Amino acid sequence: MHFIFFGIGEILRQDQYEKIQEISERLADVVIADADPVNWTGDGKLPKELTKDERGDAYWCRKMAVATLSVMMRVSNLIGVIQRQTNDGSEA
């Protein structure tokens, strides 16, 4: 079994690392969809034209986009840490 070491006591199997890479790619697609204003409630309307419910839904859409981006950035950061550790001579 092949392991990747990326910190004190932190170990991933190779198959886990590959799954994290796949998740990162899927998250990128979700971020693109979530961050596109065309997909938000009230697209094309001015804020004053939105109903109270539409404003709340539009705000929720923005929060989801930010949350998805945050998850993608954290996963990408984890991949970067593992790659740097691997390139520094650790287990690959």
Interval 17-27: pLDDT, tens:
999 999 999 99
Backbone angles phi, psi at 56, to 5 degrees: -65, -40
3-state secondary structure of 3: strand
**pLDDT at position 92, please?**
46
User: pLDDT digit string (tens) for 36-90?
Assistant: 999 999 999 999 999 999 999 999 999 999 999 999 999 999 999 888 877 765 5
Dihedral (Cα; 39, 42, 47, 49), 10-degree rounding = 160
Domain residue extents for the chain: 3-87
- In which band, very low, low, confident or very high, does the pLDDT at 9 lie, cut at 50, 70 and 90? low
